[in-house]
Amino acid sequence: MKKIDTEQILESVRRPLVLFGVLIVGVGGFLLLYLGVMVFQVINNPEKVKIVEFVLRHIQIDDKAIFGSLNHKPFEIYFSKSFRTVLFVLSGVFMIWVLAGIVKALISGGIKIIKLALVTTRTGDDDRQSNSLSKPVP
């Protein structure tokens, strides 16, 4: 039976793990930069951002927010345009918060993968000397 050298396996796995971690951190950094540019554009020139343009185009005062009948009498409640705008802005802030959490998870996960790949294991006499539990108790 062939003996497997664990150092060789570790070295063969270490490089792809580091590259994968760097790739994940790079993608997270790119998404963070894109998110920052998008927020900057929304603040400075919201008409040029497609999603903001779409939302602003579809905000209409004549849309009913709540409607129905009570004791066979119809009722309708309308939201003002400014209230709808505030609701959409809060929704946008929530979505950016969620995206920032995803980007944070990508970057921290990539860093953890890189750290895992760069950890070196000690074996043999060095390990026994550093481990205080392996020393006999007098």
Q: Are 57 and 122 in contact (CB under 8 A)?
A: no
| pTM, two decimal places | 0.62
Q: Domain extents for the chain?
A: 7-118
Tell me the per-residue pLDDT of 25-83, one tens digit each, with 9 for 90 and over: 999 999 999 988 888 888 888 778 787 777 777 766 566 777 788 888 888 887 777 77
Q: Which residue has the tokens 């409640």?
A: 77
CB half-sphere exposure, 113, CA atoms < 13 A? 19
CA distance linking residue 21 with residue 10, whole number of Å: 16
